[in-house]
Structure 1
């Protein structure tokens, strides 16, 4: 989980050694020890972004109205009691604070030791502040937002010198309905109070919070099923009721699918869904009634745009005679489509496993992910080998800075492309 000696300097090493490693790295000389790989990669990113290693580049606090708006708009607000119950008492006893941010790295909630909160205020670690990497450099919150993995950052592993008196453990929190990154849960305090179990605790409580979100989601799907079942019973042909994220609540006249990929801008009326063909959508409370018209998707999808230009969001847009359709991609699906966009002649499952994991034997994982992708992109992706279908024009939109290409990814093919 990012503690101990995994791939470089031990996070529990002396503050003096950590500081020596940082200073040598920033000066471009050979450090006495290698930093952890995750820390070294983050230092490279923020150096390239021009973050001041002495003071960072704070961009001000959000106003009270904007903080409240973000709190009300975030699903995290509903599970905040779960996070507080699991972390605040422990954080308070250990002279730490619990912090919860949104997906932009903006601090929305903060609780725990009053003395540590006052110390955090002097650092700018206050509600409304941005703790993204490109603002304050390497830190548990900002770096976890990039890597999408739990992380502890201690003392001089922080890029900005004024943060060296702190230790922070953070875990990303995802929406189980669609995999969307909601924010980060963090426990921070004085560096002298570092405890090896803090990161495990933060990660475990975050998983409990995600499980609570999942339970609430399925309760909502059950409610939609009860409401939609009588409507579907009166409909001839193929139809299904889905929630706003495409999860199937009820179905008639067709084999049920766990989930239907909906366009980013879902609307009522006639639309094309790659997995179903031409459909008609009608709004339901909490979801959509989708009638399948029986017409297949037109031969040849026309054009596919894989947009990887934004570090935290990857999308695919499919355009054809029936119109266009856009969906946000999961990190793994973004990696797979990136490889297929590079190799228009196709890749075998073993080749893709090597591209993504550096291990050609991990074909089961690759096949499972591609099966999901092909359900969502029927007519766009072919197999044997896996590739974009013939006649499909593919445009790959990369970020201006190669280091921003899928920054969460450690896939060998992505690392090579950044280089």
Structure 2
């Protein structure tokens, strides 16, 4: 009997039937509250915890209502994932055809938008209601290679009985998230799925690598769009006096005049022509450009920042924001996973954290202060007026409010930062895990 996840991984490559039995015994013992000879892998354990908390029935019919053809097409045309398809096909379809697998590409809502690969496996998927337009979110289908990476933000391979819903035990799914390099937002997941007996132990590494190549493709497209914006903005800036900067819709700088160059400006979630306050520049006038904005700092005096209200919203498992309200109005910024972790930890410890303590909270390694300082420098680009350092903390006058999820396991579920893990455990989010490991 294997005693470690690594041994099970090797076993799937040599004896799929035995691997399925081992995983089935592990699942039955763990979900039944007993002591399993083999503990679930961390990603699976965390996912099962979410399923148990949400009351998902492991024996329910997982088939979902499919999106209409018109809605699938609308999502395809508006999703940046469409630009990654040539890379995904080149990297994964040969594997899918050879190994009797299919490749699925789902958006950030877990809806399958594209599906290609082995004809026989596609027919099997159709018979189980897993067609184009299907909903593969964890809360709908249970632990799987699309929904689980959407929550964890990490590549995940789900073998046979590691699927929470029993009807999926004949499948093995391997998925990796694809993020937008412009702002770190989650675009969706690419997944390779098929029968357990055709699993290759290198599938996870391959899918993850191809997902990163897809993100590199999006980065190249972004650089091209910045060049196009620069060509439009350059003659406009040449005629202007004073300071001005041309940025794209995500705040990336295309051209600048009369001021130091910075790679990116933090922009409000909704920016419109007119006057607004930006953290890095103060009061500005904003004019539209094709594909971006022309921003001109006015130099007008700013009202004093007295008693700002800072709302950190981490109540959603896949999207987090910080909103600052004060005399200049309200301003919202969508957070990357790393910045959501950092700001949550600072909100948790209002007395502040030194760089080494914050490094320990984030990475379990007090020596990683360089990484912490670099990330905090990025945070200060949009929250600098409300953050102190030495130690890092919110300014004394700031009123900080945190919106938390109802379920402790939904608190930054992607995070493996020790400080966040401790907070989830303190809120009762790991009680079922402790029961299963007794």
**1:90 positional shift:** 2.0
**1:8 positional shift:** 7.1
**1:78 positional shift:** 2.0
**1:124 positional shift:** 2.1
Given candidates 259, 278, 285, the residue that maps to 2:283 is 278
The residue aligned with 1:156 is: 161
Tell whether 2:418 aligns with 1:418.
no
**1:297 positional shift:** 4.9
**1:9 positional shift:** 6.5
Given candidates 383, 406, 411, the residue that maps to 1:405 is 411
Q: Which has the higher contact order (CA 8 A, sep 6+)?
A: 2
- Hey, what's the Cα distance between the residues in 2 that align with 1:184 and 1:110? 12
Tell whether 2:167 aligns with 1:167.
no
Which is further off, 297-306 or 248-257?
Answer: 297-306
> Does the 8 A contact of 2:143 with 2:164 survive in 1?
yes
Q: Residue 37 of structure 2: SS of its match in structure 1? A: coil
Given candidates 351, 358, 361, the residue that maps to 1:355 is 361
- Hey, what's the Cα distance between the residues in 1 that align with 2:191 and 2:362? 29
State how many pairs are aligned. Answer: 416
Tell whether 2:317 aligns with 1:322.
no
Given candidates 301, 310, 313, the residue that maps to 2:316 is 310
* CA displacement, residues 16-55 of structure 1 (integer Å, 9 cap, x when unaligned): 0100000011111111211111111111111111111123
Given candidates 42, 49, 71, the residue that maps to 2:76 is 71
Given candidates 128, 143, 162, the residue that maps to 2:133 is 128
Going from structure 1 to structure 2, the CA distance change for 1:379 and 1:235 (only over 3 Å counts) comes to same
Q: Please give the residue correspondences for 1:47-196 in structure 2 after superposition, counting only pairs within 5 Å.
A: 47-55=52-60, 57-196=62-201
**1:123 positional shift:** 2.0
TM-score, normalised to structure 2, is 0.92
- Hey, what's the Cα distance between the residues in 1 that align with 2:192 and 2:50? 24
Tell whether 2:42 aligns with 1:37.
yes
Q: Residue 312 of structure 1: SS of its match in structure 2? A: coil
Tell whether 2:208 aligns with 1:203.
yes
**1:318 positional shift:** 0.8
Tell whether 2:9 aligns with 1:11.
yes
TM-score, normalised to structure 1, is 0.96
Given candidates 316, 329, 338, the residue that maps to 1:332 is 338
* CA displacement, residues 124-169 of structure 1 (integer Å, 9 cap, x when unaligned): 2211111111111111111111111111111111111111111111
> Does the 8 A contact of 1:56 with 1:135 survive in 2?
no
Q: Residue 201 of structure 1: SS of its match in structure 2? A: helix
Going from structure 1 to structure 2, the CA distance change for 1:253 and 1:347 (only over 3 Å counts) comes to same
The residue aligned with 2:224 is: 219
Tell whether 2:264 aligns with 1:259.
yes
- Hey, what's the Cα distance between the residues in 2 that align with 1:389 and 1:321? 16
Cα-Cα RMSD: 1.6
Structure 2 alignment gaps of length 5 or more: 12-18, 426-438
**1:6 positional shift:** 7.5
Structure 1 alignment gaps of length 5 or more: none
